[in-house]
Amino acid sequence: MIIKFPLAPITILLLSFALSIANPTQALSQQKADTADNPAAAEGFALATGFLLEGLFDQSISSFVSAENEYRKSKNEQQIIACYLGIATCYSLKSDFKKSLEFNEKALSLHKSRIENDPEGLDLIISNIALCKEVQRMSNGRFEK
C-alpha cells in the first residue's frame, strides 16, 4: 500500500531545511569561514544541497554524511546540525520518516547541548520532529519505500 501525503508537509520540510541554512548574512559569513577553514566540508555540503534540490536523495545523504565528517574535524556544530537536517529532509522526501526522525533528534540533541541564542533554529527542529511523528501516527508507522 502506498501512502500519499499532501504536498504541504513536503513543502514544509524543504522550507525548514532551506531556513536552517539560509539566514543570508549568517550563511554567507559561515560559507566564507567554512571555505577557508575546511574547503572539503564546504564543498561536500554544497554538493549535498545540489543533489537534494535535484531530487537525488541517496547521493545527497552520502554527501551530507561526508560533509558532517569533515565538519566534525573542525568542531563546527552549527554545520553538523545543518547536515543532520539535510539528511533528515532527504529521508522525509523518501518517505522514511523513522530515519528522518532519527536525524532530526540528533540535530535537536546537538543544538540543545552546543548552540545558544538560536530559538528559531530550535523551534524549526522541534517542528520537524512533530511533523515526522504526526505522519507516523497518521500512517500507523507503515510507509511504502
In this prediction the pTM is: 0.73
Q: Give 91-137 pLDDT, tens digit per residue.
A: 989 989 899 999 999 999 988 887 777 777 777 888 888 888 888 78
**What topology is assigned to 8-138 in CATH?**
1.25.40
The 3-state secondary structure of 79-144, one letter per residue? HHHHHHHHHHHHHHHCCCHHHHHHHHHHHHHHHHHHCCCCHHHHHHHHHHHHHHHHHHHHHCCCCC
- Give residue limits of the domains in the chain: 8-138
